[in-house]
Amino acid sequence: MASFEDAFRISNEGLLITLDVHAGSGRNAFPDGYNAWRKAIGIAITAPPIEGRANTAIIDLISEVMGISKSDVRIISGHQSSRKVIQIAGITPLQGKEMLAALF
């Protein structure tokens, strides 16, 4: 059985997390399940995928839920896709797992 840790990778600047985004949802939720096929953690946001609104909402929600600064969260790929990779500065995979494990 796949674990949500499969969505984690390490970079020189911090932790990379693959996301499966549901923009225009009826609620904001992170994490919003785990897609084992895509090896991505789900995130639901109410903002529409128009003019970068969804991307801004993703950064806002992740920083709020994980208790980190918005400036530490950055989208590094998938700016116009439902599959995105974010980078969180200064967080190890173990710290990311501990932060998210209680939320699943």
CA atoms within 13 A on the CB side of 91: 25
Amino acid at 22: H
CATH class of 4-101: alpha beta
Per-residue pLDDT at 2 exceeds 60: no
pLDDT band, residue 1 (cuts 50/70/90)? very low
pLDDT band, residue 5 (cuts 50/70/90)? confident
pLDDT band, residue 104 (cuts 50/70/90)? confident
Mean pLDDT of 52-69: 96
To the nearest whole percent, how much of the chain has pLDDT over 70?
Answer: 98
Interatomic CA distance for residues 62 and 95, integer angstroms: 14
